[in-house]
Amino acid sequence: MSSVKYWIATISKEHTQRGVNGGFIQVCHGKQAPLKRMKKGDYLIVYSSKISMEGNEKCQTFTAIGKVKDDEVYQFQMTENFKPFRRNIDFIECSESSIIPLINDLEFIPNKKSWGYPFRFGFFEIKENDFNLIASKILQNENV
Summarize pLDDT for 29-78 with one digit per residue, the tens: 999 999 999 999 999 999 999 999 888 899 999 999 999 999 999 999 98
The pLDDT value recorded for residue 53 is 84
Phi and psi at residue 101, to the nearest 5°: -70, -10
Confidence of residue 86 (pLDDT cuts 50, 70, 90): very high
**Least confident range of 10-19, 25-34, 118-127, 132-141:** 132-141
Phi and psi at residue 15, to the nearest 5°: -70, -30
Sign of CA dihedral 109, 118, 137, 98: positive
Higher pLDDT, 78 or 135: 135
> CA–CA distance from 121 to each of 11, 34, 41, 74 (Å)?
11, 10, 23, 21
- Average model confidence (pLDDT) for the chain? 94
Torsion, Cα of 91, 97, 102, 106 (10° steps): 10
Q: Is the pLDDT of residue 141 over 70?
A: no
Which contiguous run of DSSP H or E holds residue 19? Answer: helix 13-22
